[in-house]
Structure 1
Amino acid sequence: MEKVQEEIDIHVRNKRCINEFDINKLVYLQVVVKETLRLYPPSSLSGIREFREDCFLGGYHVSKGTRLLTNLWKIQTDPSIWEDPLEFKLERFLTTHKEVDVKGNHFEYIPFGSGRRICPEISFGIRTTHLTLTSFLQCFELSKASSEPIDMTAVNIKVTPLKVLIKPRLSSLLYKAM
């Protein structure tokens, strides 16, 4: 978070509100979003596909009419592809997986699916995520309410609620302009 805020401060200088044209300059922010989508894809399973004809897939016979659900989370945490797959490591998208993007061309990383059935709202989702996160981190300083580690258990309702303290980072004049 601090590194993203530092990057925002360098490029926007806290003299104005961030806008979508600033996002391309914020490389660290982009890798934060990529790594987050790798570990927590919008949906852990792809949409249902149905085979239109008999075929062999990975040495197995698949009959026409078989329905397939792809486990995106499992693919994106495959230890044969990702070093320390369950760890949040931003460096991987700055080094070994630098060229990997969300557009469905790299099958080890498909948070929005791929091919003809890729999520039609991928561009809107990514832009909205980048702009919302950047705006929030530009405007506010966040800190934990306690020194306890954050429980990242992925469930609908958190077992341990996340409590944070929020403090403004900008001049009060910029908040009025929003």
Structure 2
Amino acid sequence: MEETTIVYVSLSLIFLLLCSKLLFQSKKHPQNLPPSPPSLPIIGHLHLLRTPIYRFYHRLSQKYGPVFSLRLGSRLFVVVSSSAVAEECFTVNDIVLANRPKLIAGKYLGYNYTTVSTSSYGDHWRNLRRIGAIEIFSSSRLNAFAAVRKDEARRLLVSLSRDSRREFVKVKLKSMLNDMTFNNIMRMVAGKRYFGEEVTNEKEAREFREVIEGTFRNGGTGNRADFLPVLNWFGGYEKKVKKIGKKLDGLLQKLVDEHRWMKQENNGNGSMVDHLLNLQQSDPDYYTDEIIKGLMLVLLLAGSDTTSVTLEWTMTNLLNHPEGSS
């Protein structure tokens, strides 16, 4: 009986400490915030959220104006629904609004907030952006992989024609486009195919696919534990993301080590990993393995999450250069 009482008392004290911490944090925020609906202690406006979210925001904008604030648990949001104000946010006040929230996924999947998609604005983020603009997404670098994009588009068209050779058939384009997109990115990044036919290493490909899928499922911004940290004690979200991050880091490090060995053997395949390893030789203090893995990760996740953009990109390239698609 005494042990049960001690447990309940301890839980009550912990709960009160959390409440006082959250209330103290809310008092630290400036008071000149945009208008907002009435909120509840601790959870803020979480109880008001409704789907579809854009209609929920629209209803609030009609009542509170084109700029209003919401407190979702421990995090403050400012919602802008005016194009004029949004333009001002991304021009006049772009530096003020350039920082990213410190989410759990950014710590374990974003190399402790050091990737371009998780790092706050500053010298490091500007360097990463410069690398992306000059060393990865420049016209010359992208043109160097035109043959890869044409080949993946050709493979998709061949697969579709083979499936419907005798009669019209239904196909699931979403999965096929996802496969094409991921293969495009993987071949550009590491020179490997991980989906469909001619997979370089089936076991490695399967493991990589599983880890990437786990990263997508758990790496978003909508996890409750990011807004109510106490849920980490019960849901195990942070532990799960940490485990995925460790697996992902191991696979990316394996690719980096593999390409480093290939370069020593003068057997590089001209991939982006090879290019980044060349930069590492000239500037080893900055182009560390962690920076290279972070750049690879951003490419993989961003590329895999923009299937329609990649499809338009590859098809346009293919149609503009039909001689390369035969």
Q: TM-score, normalised by structure 1?
A: 0.29
The structure with the largest helix share of the pair is 2
Q: Which protein is bigger by CA-based radius of gyration? A: 2
The structure with the largest strand share of the pair is 1
Q: Does 1 or 2 have the higher relative contact order (CA < 8 Å, sep 6+)?
A: 1
Q: TM-score, normalised by structure 2?
A: 0.19
